Structure 1
Amino acid sequence: FAGSNIRSDGEQIGDGWKGLKPAGMLMVDGALYLWARNAGANGRECQLARSDDHAQTWVWSDWRFAEFGYCTFINFGQNYADARDDYVYMVSHDNPHAYSSADGFILTRVPKTQITARGAYEFFQALDGNGDPIWTADIAQRGFVFENPG
């Protein structure tokens, strides 16, 4: 295993909490996806980018999650080959600011063929009486997958 730096049009340089920074990366079916934090003003929001040429160039989504400041993927093996279903999963602390604490973490999923489609995302809401997850398309109805108040 060896790594090397690749110059890219997606390169970002510092600037503290005001600078766009990678927060999670995932490859699915040969495409590379990147969540970036600090996508909005003052260290807020996360935004998705996709590369089809191994990080030489990036296409940024035209949407952001204003509700979450630090989105990252849950990885299931090389090229997502160990996934148990056809979804890609993401977690974030429940705060729009990457540098502020939250009382819980949220879990999001999206069909792996629609990662760049904001309307395809679902949010964990709760467990039903059988212990099965309830998913909602309404971000305002999201629940915590992990909670630790205070």
Structure 2
Amino acid sequence: MQENNIKDTYDSVPYTSNPFAISSIFRLEAIAKMSGFEPAPHEKCCVLELGCSFGGNLMMSALRCPDSEFIGIDLSSEQIERGSKIVEQMGIKNLKLIQGDISQIATGGGAVEKPTKSLIISSFMAFIAGCLILSKMLFLKWAKTTLARTD
């Protein structure tokens, strides 16, 4: 019952879906390499976005990396339907949008097979990363002005 209420809320309140530079597969690949990991190359990888809205964050990467696979999952059937129409109109063949509850997919109840080398992103993770960067910038600005004072 509660799950339907949440889904109905997402369906009735449309939200935008834009590309986020912070979750760009090119950026994430570079960060992973600099951190000592061996990520799948962006030219041939699988990207799974949780809470993808209508897939706007994935569309740009899917167009730029035609040999990679992109999967977006969102609870809202309205958003997935909207995004699927856009994907079809744009002729994007390597992007699949799925309506589903990510908690069910995470427990094995979904229709997504777990790829061996994949990158999982979410708008929420991009938001948190943005908040962390902003917090760091504000702290450094505060520290610079506060620690430079001589009282």
Name the TM-score class by shorter chain: under 0.3
- TM-score normalized with structure 2 length: 0.23
Between Structure 1 and Structure 2, the one with more helix by share is 2
Q: Which has the larger radius of gyration?
A: 2
